[in-house]
Amino acid sequence: MKQTSRAVWYAALAAALYALNAPLSKLLLADVPPMMMAAFLYLGAGMGMLVVGLVRRSKTGAGKEISLTRKDRPYVIGMVALDIIAPILLMTGLSMTTSANASLLNNFEIVATTLIALLLFKEKISKQLWIGIGFVTLSSLLLSVEDATSFHFSLGSIFVLMACACWGLENNCTRKLSHSDPLEIVVVKGFGSGSGSLVIALCVGEKIPSLLLIPQVLLLGFVAYGLSIFFYVYAQRTLGAAKTSSYYALAPFIGVVFSLAIFRQLPTGRFWLALAMMILGTIIVTKDSMKEQAQQ
């Protein structure tokens, strides 16, 4: 029971840290190209967690964590590849839509993670969880429609949803690695995905941001991606991919609060309706997870 409670706390902390991503990235995107942003966010995660690992090893020695092995290689490659694609899609979408909209759409990751967990890893999904997924999906569709009269979709929202789909698959790849050292996983994610994104950014002609901006993006990456992923992996060990994702669903709502406070943009009526549906769906999903945990 204590182990489960600790895992829930880790998942909530991971959500709170990741919530900083959308609003602060939106601010930095005014001066940093999207692909460069994605690259330095993940490099910041890798660098920051590498330092944390060195400090931990100097104090506690090698530790009892299990290192990644050759058998993990397919999942590592999948994780890194998806972590190259997803943040590029997110930053591109974020540059085209509001921070609040992008933050709320991030909850679609619940749907993607859960469905992939069902299809690939045969995780059980209750009727209540299906209902919650339905509300989240409807809310995401509502946020994605730019013009209700002509049913025209927002390109920025589509990019964000594509990023969520990639992260849904990536979450399940990471789950297969959750037996290994979370810190090592984040370092591999950070340097692998960051380097890949940087190469792509340079190939398409994006310019490296100024020396004043790079440390800011690296720090955001360390907090919002590095520490967030670190705690997420720890939570996944106990809760599984679908349940951890349901707790992680707090991140979009925290992100919305940050976005409204920072940008002070008054959302449309459609946004508030989508927010209500998203909250309802998230409550249903979370209650379902709580019920399953109580039965274990």
Average pLDDT taken over every residue of the chain:
84
CA distance 130 to 139: 14
In sequence order, what E strands does 102-233 have? 145-147, 152-153
pLDDT of 122 > 60? The answer is yes
pLDDT of residue 242: 63
Q: What is the pLDDT of residues 37-76, one digit of tens each?
A: 999 999 999 999 999 888 877 776 656 677 888 888 999 9
Q: Which residues contact 34 (CB under 8 A, 6 or more apart)?
A: 88, 91, 92, 94, 95, 206
**pLDDT digits over 75-96, tens only?**
999 999 999 999 999 999 999 8
Q: How confident is the model at residue 191 (pLDDT cuts 50, 70, 90)?
A: very high
pTM (two decimals): 0.81
pLDDT for the residue 150: 46
The pLDDT value given to residue 148: 52
CA atoms within 13 A of residue 5's CA, in its CB half-sphere? 2
Region of 240 on the Ramachandran plot (φ > 0 left; ψ -120 to 50 alpha; else beta): left
- Mean predicted confidence (pLDDT) in 107-133: 78
- The whole-number pLDDT of residue 118 equals 77
Band of pLDDT at residue 207, cut at 50, 70 and 90: very high
Over range 108-113, report the average pLDDT: 80
- Supply the pLDDT for residue 217: 96
Does 106 or 34 have the greater pLDDT score? 34
Q: What is the pLDDT of residues 242-293, one digit of tens each?
A: 677 677 777 888 888 888 888 887 777 888 888 898 888 878 876 765 565 5
What contacts 233, CB < 8 A, 6 or more positions away? Answer: 174, 177, 178, 182, 185, 186
